[in-house]
Structures are given as structure tokens and as C-alpha cells.
Chains A and B, each alone.
Chain A
């Protein structure tokens, strides 16, 4: 065969690929289109309008939930990224020892344990703490989000660390850099793309979370996803489409921003 073998030349490849693409993006495209619907229903298109965006913007509950989401997600993502960076350094910059694999597994527990189980467990514990301390603020949400975001931030950081040449850090130490200076001038700059990727993942995962948030939020502490879930039980208006579209826009914006930052770095 003259052509090097590639799965792209497999019969039906293009069809399957296009099908997957459609299934992935058709619903989203539909949602975005209907967000601009002038009509009252989710079913029929009645011309273009921004009325549902306006309605959402004027709905105090929605704005409040959005602001809460945009508080919890960045704070939790930052904390998770810092913790994940330290964990990744601790698990790669060491000679392997017994129990290291177990530690990594424990760290990644949120990826394995069903979220609902964690949610119930946290509910039980946090309910106690709320009784003892009387504190009912956002701290619980932030703590919980930080915890389940750590493995998502950890994975890209660790992947980056593992491909990093150890002799670079050794060379820096050889050139009179103390451990902190080695981290500041060598490890951190080279690790930065991994840290950004980790932060981005953690941010999106936190922004999107429903189950744990629903269980542990105090009264009135709706995030955007839990608010939307709550609305489903009443009547679904095209407002939902508008909120989801905004949500999609935020996610796309965050991902694009970090993609651009990353490309400039490397």
C-alpha cells in the first residue's frame, strides 16, 4: 500500500466521526438557538429576541446564584490547585517508597467513590459542625468543592512533572540555588502550563457541580446549577436556555483563556 495506514482510511470512519460530532454538539446548538427564541415555549421558534436573557438578568435569584457560583468556583479551584501542586511535588519528587501508590489512590478518591456517597457523608459531618459552631456561610461549599477538585487539578500537574527533566532542578541546585529558589525559578515556570490546566479543570468541575452542592448547601445558598435543578420541578421556561447559554459561554471563555495563556508560555 502506498498510503501509510491510518484509521482515517477505514470505511465508514467519516460517517461515525460526523455522527459523534452531531450527537455531541447538536443538543447544545439547539439550546443556544432556543435561548434567542422570542416565543414562550421550548418547542416552537418564534423569531429572534433577547427577552429571556433580559428576564434572567432581572431575576435576582438567578443573578445571586450566578455570583455565588462565580465565588465558589475560583476560590475552590485556587485552593485545590495549590494543594494539588504540593501533592504532585510530594508524590513525584521522592524516591518511590512503600505506600506511595496508596497515597496517590487516596488523593484520587473523589474520582472513584460515587459522588452521592461523598455528598451524604459530608452532609452528616457538616450538619454536626453547623450545630456546634453556628457558622452557616459559604465555607462549607468551598471546602467541599476544593476537596473534590483536587484530583482533577492533580492529574495534569503530575503529568507535567513526570515529563520534566529532573536534572534541571539538580543543575539549578548545583548553580547555588537554594531549594526555594529552585522551585521559584525552575520548577514553577516549567510546571506552569500544568498548573493552569489543573486550575481550569478544577474551575469547570466546581462550576458544574450539583450533587454535593445540593446536599450540603445551607438554606438559600443556591449555585447556578442547583437553582436550575430546582426550577425544573416547576415550569421550565426558555429562561433556562438563556442561563445555560451564559454558562456555556463562561466555560468556553475560561477554557479559551487558559489555552491562549498556555500557548504563549510554551
Chain B
């Protein structure tokens, strides 16, 4: 993905509001035609980063390059970058068509061209019938579509979307997720999408950047982020995770043998550049472990069994008192054979366990 020339390159960006460091040395490179997602908890600096790229605020230090050109000092109207606002920010005194045509109007395009482009945009977001409506007479989903059409109409190089779906109910949200993805593929515009919904990030993005405390912790494809998180925060923030305390018993290339506090020794992948010794944390997803009749990597006592429809969650109490959650796919008609209190053996699927930076 990042092979093409970067559309946006952010270098060592820093921004403080008084004492608070909203951005603390952020560097990231976002490719042409990429659906790039910023994911992180509230207050981690996602909006701040987006505002810098849009030009609503200016960094204390660092560079923002658009196709190689530094734009960090340019005002918003000079940047070929458009924004879809969280509250849509549609102009209430204009019709749908006037809203969509506003950017083109300001660019001084000819009226025939504007009309044609507005029509094309209305078709793209399937809103032809509501051309002359006031924006106050639209539903949330319709306003969302107008906001998208308005931002896409001037054909920006990059589209910024700050939690555009958070105001919609669940069903509409799912529908708009698909719609957004389709628009991105059809227009070929680079999307930078902000969310704190991990599922949204995983299903829609080409790549995801996980942020925390004004820093980017990890950038990767959804699969990389989910399967191979580099540190505990990323592992914990995305999906569910088990963390097992242990001690390094030996290292061979990209693998470590870890003696678990709960008993047993496991093989775990090492993130690049990490060479721990002594204490270490081993991470494994609940669905990347399975029950064994005997043997297995370690043993524990079944504590609770929770049925979830598609799968069943088994809570296992380990020897050192910690909890381990294991997720089993359900099959039709089957029922779970073990009762709480039973001794069980757990094995990791190949490549499932990884050592984490703490």
C-alpha cells in the first residue's frame, strides 16, 4: 500500500495546548488512494492531527507534506484537502444543491460545470430526489450523504473524516460504512478516517494507525494490528486479549521460549527489534487457543462457560490465580461437555502467542 508516492507525509508533528501535549512527535506516511484510519481512545490526539492536516490549527513543530510539498503553514482555503465534520456542519441557509456546489463556487468554476458536478455528486450519494431541500429537512443519514458529497465535489486530493458515523444509529452506521468504502474506491481519493470504534477500523481500512497519548504506537494493516500488536496497549485496545506473565527461558531468532508463571513453557513470536530477558508478557487472542484432552501448553480449572451464539467463552482459572479466556466456535446442535471445576489443558494455535512490549 505505502509503495506509491505518499499523498500525505507527517513528520515529527508536535502540538501542545498549554501544558497538555496533544501531539507528541507524530510521523506517518499515507499513500495515494489509501483508506487510512486513525484509531485510539478519547483525547489521544486524533482530531488534533486531522485539524492540522486540514489547516484549522497549526503545529508547534514538524512538517505536513502533501505530495512532497510542505503545507503546514497554509490556511485551509489554500489546501486541496476537504473535511467531513462530525456534526456535518451543513449550511442551514442553503439547499442541498447549494451546499454541494459551495466549494466549486468558491473555486470560481463556471455555472454549467458546477451544475453538472452537483448532479454527479447527488447521483454518487443517491440523493437526486432531495436536490432542492433545505438541509434542516433531512434525516441524519441524508445529512451525512450531503456532507460527503459537499466535501467530494471539489475533487480534493485527500478527504478527512472525523468520526463521521458516530451520530448515526447502528443500522445506518453499518450501511454508511459500506457506502464510504464504495465512495473511496469509486473516487480513488485518499481517505483519512478517524474513529474510536475498533470494528469500524478493522473492516474498512487499508491501514490503521493506533494512537495513544499524542503518539502513534503502531501502523499496519488491520490483520497486522490484530494478529501482531507490538505492545500491550495496542493488543488491549483492539479486540480481546489474554496476557500471561512469564520469564524468558531462551531466544531463537524471531521466537522466544517463555516459562509461564501459571506453569508450562510456551513458544512465542518476538516483535522485530525486541530482545527481552527476564520477565516478559505473552499475548494470545481468545480464539487463537484451544482445549486439549491432554498435553497442551498449560493447564487450568474451568471457571465459567458463557454462551454467545456464534461462539462460547470459556473462563479458565490458572495456577497463578490469573484468568484466561478461550473462545470456541459453536457447531449446530452441539453442547459443551465440561462443567465448571473441571481440569482442562490449553494449547495455542501455531504462531498465536507473541511476546509484548509492556
A residues contacting B by CB (< 8 A) are 165, 167-168, 170-178, 181, 185-186, 189-190
A165 contact set on B, CB distance < 8 A: 87, 89
| B73-108 near A? 1/0 per residue, CB < 8 Å | 001110001110101010111000000001100110
Q: Is B56 an interface residue (CB 8 A)?
A: yes
Closest Cβ of chain B to A265, distance in Å, is 8
The listed residue (A168, A176, A186, A190) touching B77 by CB distance below 8 A is A176
Q: Say yes or no: B93 contacts A173, CB within 8 Å.
A: no
Complex Cα–Cα for A78 and B322 (A): 75
Complex interface: chain A residues within 8 A of B92 (CB): 168, 190
Q: A165-B89, A186-B91 are in contact. Are A170 and B56 (CB under 8 A)?
A: yes
6 tightest Cβ-Cβ pairs between the two chains A and B: A175-B103, A171-B89, A167-B89, A176-B106, A173-B76, A177-B106
> Contact between B85 and A178 (Cβ–Cβ < 8 Å)?
no
| B102 neighbours in A (Cβ, 8 Å) | 172, 175, 177, 185
Q: Is B54 an interface residue (CB 8 A)?
A: yes
Contacting residues, chain A, for B222 (C-beta < 8 A): none
- Asked whether B150 is an interface residue with its Cβ less than 8 Å from the other chain, the reply is yes
Q: Can you name 20 A-B pairs with beta carbons within 8 Å?
A: A165-B89, A167-B85, A168-B92, A170-B83, A171-B85, A171-B89, A171-B91, A173-B55, A173-B75, A173-B76, A174-B56, A174-B76, A174-B77, A174-B81, A175-B77, A176-B154, A177-B77, A177-B102, A178-B106, A181-B106
Give Cα A181 to B105, complex, Å: 11
Contact mask for chain B residues 306-349; partner A; CB cutoff 8 A; 1 contact, 0 none: 00000000000000000000000000000000000000000000
Known: A167-B85, A174-B56, A174-B82. 11 other contacts (CB 8 A): A168-B92, A170-B56, A170-B85, A171-B91, A173-B55, A174-B55, A175-B102, A175-B150, A175-B154, A176-B103, A178-B106
CA distance A185 to B32 in the complex (A): 33
- Which residues of chain B have C-beta atoms less than 8 A from A190's C-beta? 92-93
A178 to B93, CA, bound (A): 19
Contacts of B76 in A (CB 8 A): 170, 173-174
Q: How far is the CB of A246 from chain B (nearest CB, A)?
A: 37
With CB as the reference atom, state the residue of chain A lying closest to B51. Answer: A170
A190 CA to B89 CA, complexed, in Å = 13
A167 to B87, alpha carbons, bound, how many Å? 8
Interface centre among A168, A175, A178, A185 (most CB of B within 10 A): A175
Which one of A168, A185, A189 lies within 8 Å of B89 (CB-CB)? A168
Chain A hits for B154, CB < 8 A:
175-176
